[in-house]
Amino acid sequence: MHDASWPELSYPAWRDTAATLQLWTQIVGKIRLSLSPWLNHGWHVPLYVTARGLCTSPMPVGHEILEIEFDFISHLLRVRTSSGEERELPLQPQSVAEFHSRLLTILSDIGVTVVINETPNEVADPIPFSEDQVHASYDREAAHRFWRALMQVDRVFKLFRSGFLGKSSPVHFFWGSFDLAVTRFSGRTAPLHPGGVPGLPDDVTREAYSHEVSSAGFWPGNDAYPHPAFYSYAYPEPPGFRDATVTPGASFETTLGEFILPYDTVRQAKDPDALLLDFLMTTYDAAADAGQWDRAALECAIGAPAQVRPI
């Protein structure tokens, strides 16, 4: 019996909602991008898992702060400021164009002026947000299941992150690629990335991959790979990385250039948390060993609540 806290996710069953929701999150994410100073590796743009959905975290607006949160329990987009302004936008079937217009109107009404690039990133055949009448689906139950899956993944990713002393990213939800990710850094600079990522400017890609990384994440699937899955890759990929022995059930997908572990393999495991953590650890081990990272200086034991890390 699989752990009931890990919900079933069938990409074909919620494909239309996933496509619409990705574009909605891009609108919110680009608002954060427009208002926030640039942070290394684009860390100023992601969203974060919350107890109700996905949130921007605080964004500066003059001497106040703004937050925007997708609430997948009440199915509302919540907009709030430190000056006490609060607005709500129902999450329901509506076009991307309507969502875009209504959200910018809400921001204008509370005195927040923001201009965003209307072209979606990292999606096929992008339509400017204000013109998109194609994507207009919202299945409440599917959106709720997706958030519940993100919540479980976020827990395990944060546990994994606690076992590293070197530079490590927070657990980010990237709205361009529509995935949850966590990244460890060797501390060394990387060769200039060649760019060429569809729908992403080369200067953004090169800044994101300015240093050597071992990165892992989760995405719900897309038309090119219609299955929810966990992934792990290294940049630059060191010789021997893809030949490493990792968690049973995972394999290296040459077309994607990364290790893949199907979400259903984790969901149906006797101990989903342990299996996912093993995938994160063994694929990181493969990257760190093949890349000759200074593991003794970079690693520590996995953290435990209320227990000081011994030194």
Q: How many Cβ atoms from other residues are within 10 Å of residue 305's Cβ?
A: 4
Can you count the helices (H) and strands (E) in the chain? 7, 12
Look up the pTM and report it: 0.96
Confidence category of residue 191, pLDDT binned at 50, 70, 90 = very high
Q: How confident is the model at residue 1 (pLDDT cuts 50, 70, 90)?
A: very low
Tell me the one-letter amino acid at 194.
Answer: P
233-253 average pLDDT score: 97
pLDDT of residue 4: 72
Residue-wise pLDDT tens digits, 84-138: 999 999 999 999 999 999 999 999 999 999 999 999 999 999 999 999 999 999 9
Distance of CA 288 to the CA centre of its chain: 22
45 pLDDT above the threshold of 70: yes
Arithmetic mean of pLDDT, 288-300: 98
Q: Which two tokens stand for residue 156?
A: 């395990």
